[in-house]
Amino acid sequence: DRPLTIIAGPCQLESLDHAQMIAGKMKEACDAAGAQYVFKASYDKANRTSLSGKRGLGIDEGLKTLQEVGKSIQVPVLTDVHSEAQCAPAADAVDILQIPAFLCRQTDMLLAAGNTGAVINVKKGQFLAPWEMPNIVTKIESTGNRRILLTERGTTFGYNTLVADMRSLPQMAQTGYPVVMDATHSVQQPGGQGGSSGGQREFAPVMARAAVAVGVGAVFMETHQDPDNAPCDGPNMIYLDQMPALVDTLMQLDAIAKARPLTL
């Protein structure tokens, strides 16, 4: 199996400069550790906890910015889409379309995304068992698209809490598609701060290390130079300056995990 890919970036696009700064530093860290790097950012946060949550640059400026980051930093780019209509323009600008967890069962979204021919990263809904993912895979495959990634981002565990079940990783890998561990959303505390989600940033490296030792294709992490002042997901984003050491540790664990693959 190939070495680990790191998918990382800020929760929300803030500006071209900011995106390039983060993409640049992450690429450097990944190059140093031998990881492939994919830049990640959202142009619109369509399902904020509350109406007053900031939604971002919007699709037009957002996609332009993402495309520019990809070109200038020379990295593949991932972004999330929120309706059928967004899939085609997003696929023109970025390499990987991400289906948000809440929307992972919306058949028309999956078909529209699949039809673009882009790589599709589906986040497993917080309400879904890992063995339900083949049904979702089949929807995408029906478009002829077999470039699929499946992401664990935590499962509802009582109220305002998620739990990441490590069994989900090899379970989803049985589809034959690469599995991604979302280390920062799985430590979210949904709605845990009333008008916004809380989070436990300190546990994100726990999730990343655990998943890599089990064996995954990629780790997804949101990162920011100043999470507490970021427009969204601050409580669970990882400090940008802690990423080089974390990525390096993950690559060391990955080498062992890939040399001794787990099979169910």
Residue 140 · residue 148 · CB < 8 Å: yes
Beta strands in 41-157, from DSSP E residues, in sequence order: 77-80, 96-99, 119-123, 148-152, 155-156
Q: Does 120 bind a copy of itself (CB under 8 A)?
A: no
Convert 253-264 into a string of H (helix), E (strand) and C (coil): HHHHHHHCCCCC
Instruction: Out of 24, 191, 198, 244, name the contact with a copy of itself by CB under 8 A.
Output: 191
Token pair in block for residue 241: 């300056």
Choose between 76 and 191: whose C-beta lies nearer to a copy of itself: 191
Rounded to whole angstroms, how far apart are CA atoms 102 and 92?
24
Q: CB-wise, 17 or 259, nearer to a copy of itself? A: 259
Beta carbons of 217 and 211 less than 8 angstroms apart: no
Q: Which is nearer to a copy of itself, 69 or 187 (CB)?
A: 187
Task: Establish if 135 lies at the interface with a copy of itself (CB under 8 A).
Answer: yes
Determine which residue in the list 139, 153, 185, 224 makes contact with a copy of itself, applying CB under 8 A: 139
| Choice from 31, 108, 226, 228 touching a copy of itself (CB under 8 A) | 108
**Residue whose tokens read 């995408």:** 140
Cα separations in angstroms, 45 against 34, 48, 185, 224: 32, 6, 14, 17
Residues between 45 and 64 that touch a copy of itself (CB under 8 A): 46-51, 55
Q: Which of residues 5-44 bind a copy of itself (CB under 8 A)?
A: none
User: Rounded to the nearest 5°, which phi and psi values hold at 151?
Assistant: -115, 130
Which of residues 20 and 49 has its CB atom nearest to a copy of itself in the complex? 49
Helix, strand, or coil (residue 46): coil
* Residues engaged in binding a copy of itself (CB under 8 A): 46-51, 55, 82-84, 102-103, 105-108, 125-129, 131-132, 135, 138-139, 142, 155-161, 163-167, 169-170, 187, 190-191, 195, 200, 202-203, 205-207, 209-214, 245, 249, 252-253, 256-257, 260, 262, 264
